[in-house]
Amino acid sequence: MSNDVFEVMSTMRAMRRLKPDPVPDALIHKILQAGVCAPNGGNTQIWRFLVIKDPAVKKAVQVIYKRAFDEWIGPRYLTSEPPPGITKEKYLRQHGAVEYLTDHYHEAPVWIVACLEDGPNPSRASGASIYPAVQNMLLAARALGLGSTLTTRHMRYATEADKAMGLPDGVHSYAILPIGYPMGNFGPVGRTKLSDVVFTEKWGQPYVEA
């Protein structure tokens, strides 16, 4: 566990291998409370969070999740170059972890499904009212020693997945956070240098660290 927010952020690796051990409800409560502390447009709080432990529901969604892997994610990983800051070896290990999560997705003891109720003019800007909450929950899980990762692959078959989770009309899932105790260790995240992605004053002018 850690209360240092910068340490939490810099070591919040995607934990895709999770133990099936139960997670205390009190910890899930803390994670959810962190979620509703997040900023959201106009403080409308149109977010909704569904906590799922039911094995049958999780298995139904896992089938959809695996279909997306077989048809899309798996082939892309095997033919893509590593992202910035990641070696080919690490990228292939990441692929192995992604495949593991795909096969064991439903075994994570708790899912938190982040949802939004449709507003009058739904658009991609709607994510501004749900993804800050998702990030807060991921940070809270890491601070509590729990593993998780942001998953959205089910949205490739969004209608089918939302139906499997029993979401009503007008409510859509934007992310699923599988939560459990990690099998591995937290550690530094692999990212590129700031100078590769940050510009100063105008586009293309490199950022120089102080």
The band of 93, judged by pLDDT with boundaries at 50, 70 and 90, is confident
15: number of Cβ within 10 Å: 25
pLDDT per residue as tens digits for the range 172-202: 999 999 999 999 899 888 788 888 889 999 9
Phi, psi values for residue 209, rounded to 5°: -70, 140
110: β partners: 179
Q: How many domains does the chain have?
A: 1
Distance CA 108, CA 50 (A): 15
Domain that holds residue 145: 5-197
Give ∠ CA 189-75-86 in degrees, rounded to 5. 20
Q: Is residue 36 part of a domain?
A: yes
pLDDT greater than 90 at residue 112: yes
> Is 101 within a domain?
yes
149 in a structural domain? yes
Token duo for residue 196: 């590769």
111: β partners = 52, 178
Output the domain CATH number for residue 99: 3.40.109.10
Asked, for residue 170, whether it belongs to a domain, the answer is yes
